[in-house]
Structure 1
């Protein structure tokens, strides 16, 4: 008559995978073991059967699916069987580190969950060990996850009591990349992203570019933006190679200009109507303020450098004293002013002695002023008139052809004018100063196809008047080679596209060197770029342009 009992026990029901998690990187495949004991405290021999499964159904199904793959053997050399005993080379008496190394080098390793021996006969009073081996791939990322294993044992003689026949074991599976290192890497990566974001955010503007201005030698470029900053970019002859933020204010920067010839002064116009100037040699700052909240749209500095002209949204043109050595640190009253009655968008100096000023803006109004006074403003009457929603957005002239005027408006029109015979002149009749000439300005060329009929925001002429650059709401920067008369060359009637963006081009400038054109352009999203365009060297007399395109 059988008496007594059989007991199953495990002194260490919890382990980790891998058994000794590493500090920096765990193996991709790891093996770990448990040691159980089965003790026969009965008075007869007992046949003991044991098996092990994952408590989680999904884990068990994945194991079985992997073991059923045809024609494969595991990394330890055994045919796939979840409960087969381990071969001698995988016996737990061997160091687990060597087994783990072998698993990670094996090209066709198999997962394993096995107990050895799965069956055995115990004599009365005997205690035998059972070695449970688990082998699986570790996840790359995540935190340690607990898996539970179910060990079930049965006896050949069911009449004998089997104590603790069911054992639940805990397996903590660690990721390949330790969790602390993931956190550290994540925080470091986030800080790096923030640093890069900060770097690139401060590398350029974050708002619409309103103005671009090359220094005399083309080594520097000023950019003014709605993001309330003014930046100075270094140019190496072909592209931008560095930048420096000159001003950060609480108001949009509308325009920035160097003092001509010497470039030793810098003048900046703001959205609120203020003007600030800096003497770059003497390190002095000047403030010009007349009517707050009267937005500045343009600044013009004649070559003599005695006065500064500012154009405002109210329609006023103001003249300020900037004579070298005589500039007050603060001015609240201009030297002179004139109210033209329309919102000003752009201005350009005209005439051989820069004696006249072209002023353009709302209602498609284009007005010529005699800066020496004594004559009434003259409207260019043969420019198409417009309503309150139609603007001339930009005007430009050429230093060496001061009577050539380029005009661009928001209806997509570009035009070139010869103003030599229509500049208002001062005359004296019966002791009174009168002025004006009614001679229409000569229209040289005009076209509507340059930017697909969309607004042309900005234009610039080279000093010799042989190239016109334009930018518009279609996102293109166009180059227009001109002949000596100021017309588009016959072989370049449709212009040459330099760039094409998805954002409106809001500012351009151009500088000519003997063999290259440097074209600067700014976009609505704050991008500033410089593009170099090779041109043929010219041996033509001053004022003459090549008859062939570059």
Structure 2
């Protein structure tokens, strides 16, 4: 009672609000001297949780004059700054009233509300990366780190904005508590819908953080939906006729046929389609695509009409035209369509019905009998010569008509069909044409045969690489089918372009249209294992059609060559690829540029390659620089430079085949110009261009395959060509 009667003090307000950075606020303190003596008074103000600093407020007056008993002193307190930096909320101010003349003091409490400053933000927000990648239907975590730089705990609401709410797993909001000067990480999980509902691309999202006192911060990020899926391509039916129904009388009105092409976009890439019609027959037709450049929406089937208008002859035999359709997608990130191409057949009948021609032919046949020669029914893809198979000498050939034929060599150097299919097994080939004779047929498959190889040493088994990626094996002497090789993990129809045996016949290499190389193993005198021992692949972005294989004489290096003029050297021991670096003058390395064939000179390190620009190039693989270190996937395959011995022009068109003679003196070349040429080589394996090449043969059609074996003073050379013919030549360089 005595203390309260000496100093009587009161506040003009009990609550006051202040915004740091804004105008100052003030309140008053009234003090009455209740003592019985003169006394002066002072004020001291402290904020709960603050230090001893007092520069955040100003007093007027600092000290009152001495007052007589009963007199009153009025103090004015002006708040200039926040007593608690970076604090938003309510703080209690303790106002202490005292006098140096009195032993007592008085304490008053005022509630100060510190409001947030518009320029002050106590929250910090961040993402570990600005870009997040995810496939459709997969879940990606988006961790968000929020930091409270204030001196008081903060309640924060996080919100993920801009993205579709259905993409977020759970709620699009998170509520978190962050201690003073602490940080907390919250995670949003995002799951885009399936591929046919959301296109691949970048999607902006914003993470917004708002504290309970009004502080707001945000951060932006990108959610990249990665491309996935494939483009399904179908043509039904794949074979049509002009006219659709064969008439008994002449029909000149049917001039075209329309195929319906179906495309289903099973990906998340919006595509525009360009259709390329390939093949020799395409050059003789008028082609119309409607619509010309169809748009393929996600998850939908789009129909396109392809109209072919060939020239119909008035009289003659029906022609079966073959076309290869290649869709080109506007966005190639997922590769080509599935399948990459489709084969169409169009049978064109003459305007005058066939029965009239048959009558005419019967009349001619009655006068002159000319037996039909035995040939393949389509272009020849590969030929092989054997001298130790039990049918010595022997030529074997395979074709797009899905047949394997065997030919004996007469004493005059001509070919005659040898052997035949077992009785009752003669069937149509895949060209839907009936062979005119079973003579010379070793086997008929249901797929076009691209490559052929005879097992070394015994030469009693033949291995054929088919269009659908299988290897079929037959016994040459009995004609019996033995077994089939197919990688069980390969669910594609990846055509086999070349086959290569090691000298001991225990390892078989196969190359494919995708650029894959497979190695098959077998114990001695036992069939090959049904699973490949190794699968050699370059990264997908460097994929190419591997048209030819060559094995170095020491069998330590396997060379694969093909599309984009790519030469890949595989270390057989560790399966590591490196790309042979080409010289700057080896131009044209696009999709339609190829190394068609590679071959090692016998018992040397000299490698020869022929290309689609008409050149043959020789390298010495014993003179190579150390291979470059493995490059990142965004760069290129490891490069290796080797000494280029020679590069010379052989033809104005593609050179598809090259062979060294066993004596290393000659290189034999053949290709699209129909010429088989022999080039003399010097002692250091460079062409002697001072002399013209020897011309072995000149054909009117493209030569697709060559093989040779020693024979007496020279070599026998067998060729296969687009005109379905197999031919044999004897080359004696000394003649």
Tell me whether the two structures share a fold, i.e. TM-score over 0.5.
yes
Q: Does 1:222 align with 2:386?
A: no
Q: Mark the runs of 5 or more structure 2 residues left unpaired by the alignment.
A: 1-357, 419-439, 630-636
Task: Give 1:458's aligned residue.
Answer: 657
Task: Give 1:288's aligned residue.
Answer: 485
Q: Secondary structure at the match of 2:456?
A: coil
Q: Give the Cα separation in 1 of the matches to 2:409 and 2:498.
A: 24
Q: Give the Cα separation in 2 of the matches to 1:395 and 1:289.
A: 25
For residues 355 and 236 of structure 1, do their structure 2 counterparts lie closer, same or farther at Cα, with a shift above 3 Å needed?
farther
Q: Give the Cα separation in 2 of the matches to 1:371 and 1:423.
A: 18
Task: Give 1:410's aligned residue.
Answer: 612
Task: Give 1:210's aligned residue.
Answer: 381
Q: Give the Cα separation in 2 of the matches to 1:505 and 1:184.
A: 36
* Length-normalised TM-score, structure 2: 0.42
User: 1:399 is matched with which residue: 575, 588, 602?
Assistant: 602
Q: Does 1:475 align with 2:674?
A: yes
Q: Give the Cα separation in 2 of the matches to 1:424 and 1:489.
A: 30
Q: Give the Cα separation in 2 of the matches to 1:185 and 1:474.
A: 36
Q: State the shift of 1:410 in Å.
A: 0.8
**Do the aligned residues in 1 keep the contact of 2:565 with 2:594 (CA within 8 Å)?**
yes
For residues 423 and 510 of structure 1, do their structure 2 counterparts lie closer, same or farther at Cα, with a shift above 3 Å needed?
farther
Q: Secondary structure at the match of 1:419?
A: strand
Two-structure CA RMSD over aligned residues (Å): 3.2
Q: Secondary structure at the match of 1:497?
A: strand
Alpha-carbon displacement from aligned partner over 1:27-67 (angstroms, at most 9, x marks no partner): xxxxxxxxxxxxxxxxxxxxxxxxxxxxxxxxxxxxxxxxx
**Do the aligned residues in 2 keep the contact of 1:382 with 1:441 (CA within 8 Å)?**
no
Q: Mark the runs of 5 or more structure 1 residues left unpaired by the alignment.
A: 1-182, 428-435, 537-549
Pick 1 or 2: higher relative contact order, CA cutoff 8 A, min separation 6.
1
Q: Does 1:365 align with 2:566?
A: yes
**Do the aligned residues in 2 keep the contact of 1:469 with 1:510 (CA within 8 Å)?**
no
Q: State the shift of 1:271 in Å.
A: 1.1
Q: Give the Cα separation in 1 of the matches to 2:558 and 2:359.
A: 63
Q: Which has the higher helix share?
A: 1
User: 2:519 is matched with which residue: 302, 307, 319?
Assistant: 319
Task: Give 2:643's aligned residue.
Answer: 442
Q: Give the Cα separation in 1 of the matches to 2:467 and 2:626.
A: 31
Task: Give 1:534's aligned residue.
Answer: 732
Q: Give the Cα separation in 2 of the matches to 1:204 and 1:509.
A: 18
Matches within 5 A, 1:191-340: 196-197=371-372, 200=373, 203-216=374-387, 219-236=393-410, 238-243=413-418, 244-280=440-476, 285-290=482-487, 291=490, 292-327=492-527, 331=530, 333-340=531-538
**Do the aligned residues in 2 keep the contact of 1:412 with 1:454 (CA within 8 Å)?**
yes
Q: Give the Cα separation in 2 of the matches to 1:361 and 1:269.
A: 17
Q: State the shift of 1:490 in Å.
A: 4.8
Alpha-carbon displacement from aligned partner over 1:493-538 (angstroms, at most 9, x marks no partner): x3122222221111112223341221211211111111112233xx
Q: Give the Cα separation in 2 of the matches to 1:502 and 1:314.
A: 31
Matched residues, number: 336
**Do the aligned residues in 1 keep the contact of 2:597 with 2:610 (CA within 8 Å)?**
yes
**Do the aligned residues in 2 keep the contact of 1:206 with 1:526 (CA within 8 Å)?**
yes
Q: Secondary structure at the match of 2:482?
A: strand
For residues 219 and 443 of structure 1, do their structure 2 counterparts lie closer, same or farther at Cα, with a shift above 3 Å needed?
same
* Length-normalised TM-score, structure 1: 0.56
Q: State the shift of 1:253 in Å.
A: 1.1
**Do the aligned residues in 1 keep the contact of 2:380 with 2:400 (CA within 8 Å)?**
yes
For residues 344 and 376 of structure 1, do their structure 2 counterparts lie closer, same or farther at Cα, with a shift above 3 Å needed?
closer
Structure 1 ranges of 4+ moved more than 4 A: 183-195, 279-284, 436-439
Alpha-carbon displacement from aligned partner over 1:209-245 (angstroms, at most 9, x marks no partner): 2111111457111111112111111124633244321
